[in-house]
Amino acid sequence: MGRAARIARRTFLIGSAAVAGGVAFGVWHLHRPAPNPLTAEAGASLNPFVIVDQSGTTIITPRAEMGQGIHTTLAALVAEELDLAWEDVRVLHGPPAQAYYNSALLRGEWRYHPEGLSGWQSALADTLGRVGKVMQLQVTGGSTSTLDGFVRLRMAGAAAREALKAAAAERLGVPVAELATQDGNVIGPDGTVIAYGELAEAAARVDPPAVTLRSPEEWRFLGRSMPRVDMLAKATGTAEYALDVRLPGMRFATVRMNPHLGGEMTGFDPEPALAMPGVERVIDLGTGIAVVARTTWEAMQAAEAVSVEWGPAPYPDTTEDMFDSIAAAFDTRRNSRRRNDGDADAALADAGTVIEAEYRVPFLHHATMEPMGAAALFTGARLELWSGNQAPVLHAEKAAEAVGLDPDRIVLHTPMMGGGFGRRAETDFTVLAARIAAEMPGTPILLTWSREEDFSHGFFRPAAIARMRGTVAEGRVTAFDAKVAAPSVTRQAMQRMSGFAPPGPDQGHVEGLADQPYRFGAYRVEGYLADLAVPVGFWRAVGNSFNGFFHESFVDELAHAAGADPLAFRLAHLDDPAARGVLEAVAEMSGWDGETEAGTGRGVAMTRSFGTPVAQVVEVIDDEGWIRISRAWVACDVGLALDPGIIRQQMEGGLIYGLSAAAMEEITFAGGRVEQKNFPDHDALRITGAPEIAVRILESGQHMGGVGEPATPPAMPALANAVFDLTGERIRELPLSRRLRFVA
């Protein structure tokens, strides 16, 4: 903790602001050195995380909830220091949380739903308008949220606690040192109980005190599995997703955009749609159409009735031709060589036998359970949006640009997300909702994509090819030589976000391949970027999702070539304690002895991504000619486990997501269009095909790793390696369902 505390003092200072009937606490993040940082002029900005008023204590989380449990863990960080009763914890990310990021609201211009604002929300807007706020790149992704909030949120909670105690000390006429805090109350030396809310106004006049964060030994919430703050709403159908937003006078919209992605629309005839009941508008969106109707279903029916002429896509027509483009990248100038230990060429030349293998993985779709969509209201002067998104500042900026408003005229709410997996970092659906709303000033609209539109208009995990060469001698890898080719997610995403694709080596392209903790005699990893205009984007674990499969499949091949047990072989090439620890854990959990019964196969894989090594053993059985994924064992080392229950959920979910992809998912193209339309064409594991899962969480304490993504990469090679163990056939192309039938 010592190091964390030093970082905190250097980077963050505590601040507070009076709000109506209460006080807001936050952390001032220094943007530049200043003699007195606690003034607006000095260039500091307040990120309030805690509001205390007569109605209780509200925790503002700066990150979006898409299922990963982040609201619960971020709330626990505040509550740990503030001594709240967990059942009283209230968490907001939606409209009020946006107050801290939206300058239009900061100037008190938010007048659309004044009745929906409590006193402190209105006042806070004014207060923050005075102190000023610098727009920040606020992104939920990269498994970074917990790390980001670890110090700041605890400091905000501690500051609030000490200010409330100071206010109580003044009221009771006793020293602060004689006061305690418990369950949302300050407790006096004589047992007097004062609720935080009663002290809130006075606490606003207290100078934010210097605080010392509690040590982990004192933690009551952190390190334990807390009840998720979103669970009651999600179990009762009352959690609000973007598609659930309903406003007076709302109209319901859908879109049909060019399925030749990136192509133009050369003509359309709206008349058949306009003649249908309930249909109000057919809107020309340039590369597609929107239909606005009385209900979503009527809009979807009518959208199908519009006859449209589509221009071609700027990429090859078929998946086969796309793979040819990807393969051609190997003949172009190398983009990166992010690892080059030893002399790979010499090692390969010296070896008697070089093991060579080519692997291929397909495009993949996120397939969130909630299709893309957003609600929007445009008034001419301003635009209000409700969009489940992973990057609010970016979404607001793109929407502003699309409707010709300054970004400070946008109010963006982030409701719960029905799955994100990286898809909702893209701004396309938010922009479309904004454009439809701009055509209908004063009328709130809800855009809902059909599932078919969602499948056919993705930002896909790129298809990729790896060419691997390796040599083994005396049970050890003497050369590991990997080349990977794929379209670049980094370049495409940066181009879309900023209009500029950074040149130079693309690190994300080889993540999961160049950065693994193994020690090989020679270890070389090269990246090649394919020139392919298929939209690709951030899919859970990003580059690790394909490179993990390449790396850990090939390590398995080398183990078998060396005549070694695949798990022991991995351990023999690892000195990183965390990576060794997770492999040893799954070996023990699964009773790994290198032997499997006839009709059963087991595979192992270990990848390290987002700072967290994860090892998995997957077991498959031959169920009358079908492959059933029967059991899985998962061990991760997250360093410091803030909420084991949520980490377990993410380990299970990440595993299932990877197993589904490896077993049966792919996006293919024909005639320039995505062929998969809906879940019958693109299934995923159901409860019937999901394995029994055991999870062990290790805490080596040497790092704080992410949890949302790291369980997905090892699932794919672990499954393929299990299939090899079962069948003796090394399948180097995903999905495995091209060759095998899986129980889904």
Partner 1 sequence: MAFTLRVNGQTHTVDLPGDMPLLWVLRDGLNLTGTKYGCGVAACGACTVHVDGAPVQSCQLALADVDGEVTTIEGLGTPEAPAPIQQAWIEHQVAQCGYCQSGQIMAAAALLAETPAPSDAEIEAAMALNLCRCGTYSAIRAAIRAAAARLQEA
Applying CB under 8 A, which of residues 657, 669, 724, 742 lies at the interface with partner 1?
657
* CB nearer partner 1, residue 626 or residue 679: 679
DSSP 209: P
**Helix or strand holding residue 75 (H, E):** helix 70-82
Q: How far is the CB of 651 from partner 1 (least distance, A)?
A: 10
- Residue 649 interacts with partner 1 (CB under 8 A): yes or no: yes
Q: How far is the CB of 77 from partner 1 (least distance, A)?
A: 19
Sheet holding 336-341, edge to edge: 336-341, 523-529, 476-486, 464-473, 355-361
Amino acid at site 433: A
Of the candidates 652, 679, 647, 651, the one whose C-alpha atom is nearest the C-alpha of residue 665 is 679
Of the candidates 14, 201, 11, 46, the one whose C-alpha atom is nearest the C-alpha of residue 132 is 46
Applying CB under 8 A, which of residues 436, 690, 698, 718 lies at the interface with partner 1?
690
Amino acid at site 200: A
Q: What is the largest CA-CA distance in the chain?
A: 85
- Residue 280 interacts with partner 1 (CB under 8 A): yes or no: no
Q: How far is the CB of 252 from partner 1 (least distance, A)?
A: 6
- Residue 692 interacts with partner 1 (CB under 8 A): yes or no: yes
What stretches of 237-384 show up as alpha helix (H) in DSSP?
A: 271-274, 296-305, 319-328, 344-350
Q: How far is the CB of 684 from partner 1 (least distance, A)?
A: 6
Q: How far apart are CA 156 and CA 57, in angstroms?
A: 13
Q: How far apart are CA 466 and CA 509, in angstroms?
A: 12
- Residue 118 interacts with partner 1 (CB under 8 A): yes or no: no
* CB nearer partner 1, residue 241 or residue 330: 241
- Residue 146 interacts with partner 1 (CB under 8 A): yes or no: no
User: How would you write 235-264 as a 3-class SS string?
Assistant: HCCCCCEHHHCCCCCCEEEEEEECCCCCCC
Q: How far apart are CA 546 and CA 553, in angstroms?
A: 11
First to last CA, the chain: 45
Which pair of tokens denotes residue 557?
């091949």
Applying CB under 8 A, which of residues 334, 686, 738, 739 lies at the interface with partner 1?
686
- Residue 417 interacts with partner 1 (CB under 8 A): yes or no: yes
Amino acid at site 715: A
**Helix 428-439 and helix 392-403: axis angle, to 10°?**
40
Applying CB under 8 A, which of residues 173, 191, 499, 680 lies at the interface with partner 1?
680
Q: How far is the CB of 284 from partner 1 (least distance, A)?
A: 24
Q: Taking contact as CB under 8 A, which single stretch among the options 101-109, 334-342, 348-356, 369-377 is the one that binds partner 1?
A: 369-377
Q: How far apart are CA 492 and CA 530, in angstroms?
A: 12
Enumerate residues 444-483 that contact partner 1 by CB under 8 A: 448, 450-451
**Burial (Cβ within 10 Å: 0-12, 13-18, ≥19) of residue 333:** exposed
Site string for partner 1, 300-319 (x = CB under 8 A): x-------------------
- Residue 88 interacts with partner 1 (CB under 8 A): yes or no: no
- Residue 626 interacts with partner 1 (CB under 8 A): yes or no: no
**Strand-pair partners of 518:** 574
- Residue 277 interacts with partner 1 (CB under 8 A): yes or no: yes
* CB nearer partner 1, residue 204 or residue 292: 292
Q: How far is the CB of 607 from partner 1 (least distance, A)?
A: 18
Q: How far is the CB of 687 from partner 1 (least distance, A)?
A: 4
Q: How far is the CB of 646 from partner 1 (least distance, A)?
A: 8
- Residue 39 interacts with partner 1 (CB under 8 A): yes or no: no
Of the candidates 416, 410, 680, 705, the one whose C-alpha atom is nearest the C-alpha of residue 582 is 705
Which pair of tokens denotes residue 456?
């056919």
- Residue 87 interacts with partner 1 (CB under 8 A): yes or no: no
Q: How far apart are CA 740 and CA 685, in angstroms?
A: 15
Applying CB under 8 A, which of residues 679, 702, 729, 739 lies at the interface with partner 1?
679
Of the candidates 452, 451, 377, 389, the one whose C-alpha atom is nearest the C-alpha of residue 423 is 389
Applying CB under 8 A, which of residues 367, 513, 621, 640 lies at the interface with partner 1?
367
Q: How far apart are CA 386 and CA 623, in angstroms?
A: 47
Of the candidates 705, 696, 697, the one whose C-alpha atom is nearest the C-alpha of residue 612 is 705
- Residue 714 interacts with partner 1 (CB under 8 A): yes or no: no
Enumerate residues 215-254 that contact partner 1 by CB under 8 A: 225, 227-228, 230-241, 243-244, 246, 252
Which pair of tokens denotes residue 633?
């064992």
Give the number of residues in contact with partner 1, rule: CB under 8 A: 66
* CB nearer partner 1, residue 250 or residue 533: 250
Backbone phi, then psi, for 120, in 5-degree steps? -70, -30
For strand 90-92 and strand 56-60, is the pairing parallel, antiparallel, or unpaired?
A: parallel
* CB nearer partner 1, residue 247 or residue 497: 247
Q: How far is the CB of 211 from partner 1 (least distance, A)?
A: 31
Q: How far is the CB of 189 from partner 1 (least distance, A)?
A: 38
Helix, strand, coil % over all residues of the chain, rounded to 5: 35, 25, 40
Q: Taking contact as CB under 8 A, which single stretch among the options 16-24, 190-198, 497-505, 690-698 is the one that binds partner 1?
A: 690-698
Q: How far is the CB of 95 from partner 1 (least distance, A)?
A: 18
Which pair of tokens denotes residue 462?
């790129």
Q: Taking contact as CB under 8 A, which single stretch among the options 201-209, 407-415, 679-687, 725-733 is the one that binds partner 1?
A: 679-687
Q: Taking contact as CB under 8 A, which single stretch among the options 45-53, 163-171, 583-591, 672-680 is the one that binds partner 1?
A: 672-680
Residues 155, 13: contact at Cβ < 8 Å?
no
Q: How far is the CB of 361 from partner 1 (least distance, A)?
A: 19
CA 155 vs. chain centroid, Å, equals 25
- Residue 685 interacts with partner 1 (CB under 8 A): yes or no: yes
Residues 462, 493: contact at Cβ < 8 Å?
no
Applying CB under 8 A, which of residues 119, 278, 316, 505 lies at the interface with partner 1?
278
- Residue 368 interacts with partner 1 (CB under 8 A): yes or no: yes
Q: Which residues bind partner 1 (CB under 8 A)?
A: 66-69, 225, 227-228, 230-241, 243-244, 246, 252, 277-278, 294-298, 300, 367-371, 416-421, 448, 450-451, 645, 649, 652-657, 660, 678-680, 683-688, 690, 692-693
